[in-house]
Structure 1
Amino acid sequence: MYISCDAVRAKYHLLDTNKLQSVLQSSAVVKDYKFDTKKEEWCEVTLQFNILDSKIDLPSLIDLDIRKAVVHEVPGVTRCFLSTQKNGEVHLKTEGINILEVYKYSDFLDISRLYSNDIHAMAERYGIEAAGRVIIKEVQNVFGAYGIDVDYRHLSLLADYMTFEGSYKPFNRVAMETCSSPLQQMSFETTMHFLVNASIHGSHDSLKSPSAQLVTGRLVTCGTGSFELMNRITV
């Protein structure tokens, strides 16, 4: 296969021309643009303003445009910064998450300690059990900020209920749509909505859920109510 050098040069010249035109058309104040066509190590932009205009804060304008310019980016991550912990460790924190991209830097990042509060991302990449642990940790952090210590068993019960179907579901009336107990649905929110739906579809409640048992005045069959006591009778 043979490619003419003139054809290659013409191709690169066309790319440079398109790049120049793109920059010149990006703003009315850009009048000229020069750049390093060989190593791409520098560029020079000429801006033109009306001298009759008020004072121009050029540093602010440049700073504004610099923030829009992308030198290198990771899709899904908007900002990143280093944080030094009390034990001297340096943690890389980001706004946004791209787990697959982080894997590429395993030579100097400890991937085994990667953590994100994006529950959906953790569930998708590490499984629903990992998502449950994230829920527990995040709820602990919220209460911990106010000095409130919540028993781990309560948090684990909450996380299990939000993930036991194999997917992460919220703790609201939308998630209650998947509940099989109409009485439990009605005891949560929007009682009339769930009552009407149960009536239309002829739903049956087996009274196995604690909420349904409480509504009907029954003993909850969990904890101390999960068994019966039998007295020994002497005849």
Structure 2
Amino acid sequence: MNITGNTIFVPGATSGIGLALALRLKSRGNTVIIGGRRTSLLAELAEAHGFETVRIDTADAASIAEATADVVGRFPDLNVLVAMAGIMRPEDWTTPGFLADAEETVVTNLLGPIRLIDAFVPHLRERPGATIVTVSSGLAHTPLRFTPTYNATKAAIHQLSESIRMQLAPIGIQVTELVPPAVRTALMPGHESADHAMPLDAYVDEVMTLLEADPEAREVLVEQVKLLRYAEVRGDYDQIVGVLNAAEERVR
């Protein structure tokens, strides 16, 4: 993915990594459309930063269809989709009551990106420089005990990215996977100031540097996430699982 000269849609960009990435991309001369559920917040961000906006609920198939028609109609040069929206909920599978959170996580984190990609591929295949950016996690490779369904959906996104890349490359669509470590955002309570989490600005700055250095990158791996991404390859998986979960215990 080239980091300049694009028209980019980022659903899930009203806060956290999505918003920080949208701001960096806009500063590099891209037209950036952000999506979210709250129209009042979208209006505030549009006024503050000059974003184009679209209301979208990525957990709702009808909303995705409506937003896709809106984006493609207003921005026919759109060539990049960043499937950023996601949720992270703690679950305790030893007690009743976890199923609702688990189901919502699957719908938002896995079905949401699948539906987005399905909706935008017919348009993207006609655009030069077309790119789909998926967002997995270091937890796709080294699990956190508190968030089993989140871990599973991010592992699925990793394999989805690997698989559809082979299908979409021949029709001119690049697939790039962002693999964040723990980052200081509100995705999980306590992470905004967690010592082991990467500062948000530092994370997004490193992502932009990596994308600029290698526009053809399959995975965007900041240094901090490599501890999780390659634990099994290195042979220290059990040790890293222990270190990761001990750090999260301290946050909780």
Q: Which of the five TM-score ranges fits, normalised by the shorter chain?
A: under 0.3
TM-score under structure 2 normalisation?
0.25
Larger C-alpha radius of gyration, 1 or 2? 1
TM-score under structure 1 normalisation?
0.26
Give the structure with the larger helix fraction: 2
| RCO comparison, higher one (Cα < 8 Å, 6+) | 2
